[in-house]
């Protein structure tokens, strides 16, 4: 099932309006999947399911990339094997004002507007383009490795 949502956040002093369109798909998790992680699609017994990232070439992974696992009110910090989970395939992941949205962890320091790539060897988010899979751009700036970042998926 695919759902579409348009959100307009309430404003704080000095903040510009933030309107985002987000596309969220529901899949059955083939294994335990933590929130904020890239997931891959595959067909098992005629059913499309998602699984954790596995190393491969950017060209091959682009064919099966489903999106990023997203927060669910029914689970503390991950989707469990054989349960239904939400995957964001386009739009903003993480939001300054909305409770429950999940940020990702950037493996390097990034600047707002940098391209967002998935390192094909380990599934981590980076701004390094070489041999990696581009999925969008960073919407925040970080100052060190392994800091939370908001991204906009355009894959």
Mean predicted confidence (pLDDT) in 114-123: 94
What pLDDT band is residue 98 in, cutting at 50, 70 and 90? very low
- Rounded CA gap, 24 and 3, in Å? 5
What pLDDT band is residue 96 in, cutting at 50, 70 and 90? very low
Mean predicted confidence (pLDDT) in 8-23: 55
Cross-strand pairs, 54: none
* Other beta carbons less than 10 A from residue 60's beta carbon: 13
How many domains does one find in the chain? 1
pLDDT at 134 over 90: yes
Question: What's the whole-number average pLDDT of the chain?
Answer: 80
Mean predicted confidence (pLDDT) in 111-134: 94
Residue 48: domain span: 2-153
pTM confidence score: 0.78
Q: For 21-78, how does the pLDDT look when each residue is reduced to its tens digit (9 = 90+)? A: 677 888 899 999 888 899 999 988 888 899 999 999 998 898 999 988 876 666 567 8
- Rounded CA gap, 105 and 155, in Å? 18
Specify the pLDDT at position 8: 46
């Amino acid at each position: 099932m695919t759902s579409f949502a348009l959100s307009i956040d309430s404003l704080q002093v000095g903040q510009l309006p933030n309107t985002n369109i987000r596309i969220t798909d529901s899949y059955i998790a083939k294994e335990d999947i933590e929130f904020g992680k890239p997931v891959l699609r595959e067909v098992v017994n005629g059913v499309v399911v998602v699984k954790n990232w596995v190393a491969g070439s950017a060209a091959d992974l682009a064919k099966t990339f489903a999106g990023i696992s997203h927060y669910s009110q029914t689970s503390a910090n991950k989707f469990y094997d054989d349960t239904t989970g939400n995957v964001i395939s386009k739009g903003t992941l993480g939001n300054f004002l909305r409770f429950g949205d999940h940020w990702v962890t950037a493996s390097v320091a990034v600047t707002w507007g940098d391209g967002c790539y998935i390192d094909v060897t380990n599934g981590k988010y980076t701004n390094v383009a070489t041999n990696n899979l581009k999925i969008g751009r960073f919407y925040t700036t970080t100052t060190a490795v392994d800091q939370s970042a908001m991204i906009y998926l355009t894959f």
